[in-house]
A and B are shown apart, each in its own frame.
Chain A
Amino acid sequence: EPEVTQTPSHQVTQMGQEVILRCVPISNHLYFYWYRQILGQKVEFLVSFYNNEISEKSEIFDDQFSVERPDGSNFTLKIRSTKLEDSAMYFCASGEDGTEKLFFGSGTQLSVL
């Protein structure tokens, strides 16, 4: 069964450093998402991406965040200058249709020290 893959599974970084989280969505999907989950809390929407542009973003997704689909397979989330409060599990998801079910990756655990 096709799946969304994310790398790395764990990322440790110093505050103020840039990080790039990588995702390979399911190949025939057209809609891509990033969500995050702080330990013990709910899954929070960050951004959706379709047709090479951001469709929607939350208030969490400020100027420090950016997304890119550099080629036909990868979808990345960049945090330019990480803060302690960026520590969370980041999930990538993809969907065939913008309103249908999403398929999630296993996540990247980001720890900002």
Chain B
Amino acid sequence: GESVGLHLPTLSVQEGDNSIINCAYSNSASDYFIWYKQESGKGPQFIIDIRSNMDKRQGQRVTVLLNKTVKHLSLQIAATQPGDSAVYFCAENRSGGYQKVTFGIGTKLQVIP
């Protein structure tokens, strides 16, 4: 079936370095993508989103890149901080009244002080 998944289950980075978390999706009908951050014991927290008519979107210290050709999504975190340690999920949805956001497996980001 169609799904959203992640390449790397765990990523360790040194504090201050940049982090890149990758995601592959297989539903070509998806046109809206979201990155969520989940800290231990908490619900997913919205980070940034991007629509399929864009290939890049920047937020505060975060950038999402979308490559529709290869169905790939990435989240870049600049100057990673200890507070960035969490599990990051990519998620996808499609417009047209489909009210179902599908999550990928998740990547655990560990920031080394």
| Chain A residues packing against B (C-beta within 8 Å) | 4, 31, 33, 35, 41-45, 48, 50, 55-56, 58, 91, 93, 98-107
Closest A residue, CB atoms, query B47: A101
A91 touches B43 (CB 8 A): yes
Quick one: which of B65-107 are within 8 Å of A by CB? 89, 93-95, 97-106
B46 touches A103 (CB 8 A): yes
| Chain B residues packing against A (C-beta within 8 Å) | 32, 34, 36, 38, 41-46, 49, 89, 93-95, 97-106
Task: Chain B residues near A101: list those with CB within 8 A.
Answer: 34, 46, 49
B99 touches A104 (CB 8 A): no
Cα A45 to Cα B92 with chains together (Å): 12
Cα A31 to Cα B97 with chains together (Å): 11
B95 touches A99 (CB 8 A): yes
B42 touches A106 (CB 8 A): yes
Task: Chain B residues near A43: list those with CB within 8 A.
Answer: 38, 44, 89, 103, 106
List 16 contacting pairs A-B, 8 Å CB cutoff, sorted by A: A33-B101, A42-B103, A42-B105, A43-B106, A45-B102, A50-B99, A56-B98, A91-B43, A98-B99, A100-B49, A101-B49, A102-B34, A104-B36, A104-B43, A104-B45, A106-B43
Closest A residue, CB atoms, query B32: A99
B41 touches A106 (CB 8 A): yes
Task: Chain B residues near A56: list those with CB within 8 A.
Answer: 98-100
Task: Chain B residues near A41: list those with CB within 8 A.
Answer: 105
- Which of A33, A43, A44, A56 has the largest count of B CB atoms less than 10 A from its CB? A43
Closest A residue, CB atoms, query B34: A101
Given contacts A43-B103, A101-B49, A107 and B43 within 8 Å (CB-CB): yes
Cα A42 to Cα B23 with chains together (Å): 13
Task: Chain B residues near A103: list those with CB within 8 A.
Answer: 46
Chain B nearest CB from A33 CB (Å) reads: 8
- Which of A41, A48, A99, A101 has the largest count of B CB atoms less than 10 A from its CB? A99
Given contacts A42-B104, A42-B105, A101-B49, A31 and B99 within 8 Å (CB-CB): yes
Task: Chain B residues near A50: list those with CB within 8 A.
Answer: 99
Task: Chain B residues near A99: list those with CB within 8 A.
Answer: 32, 93-95, 98-99
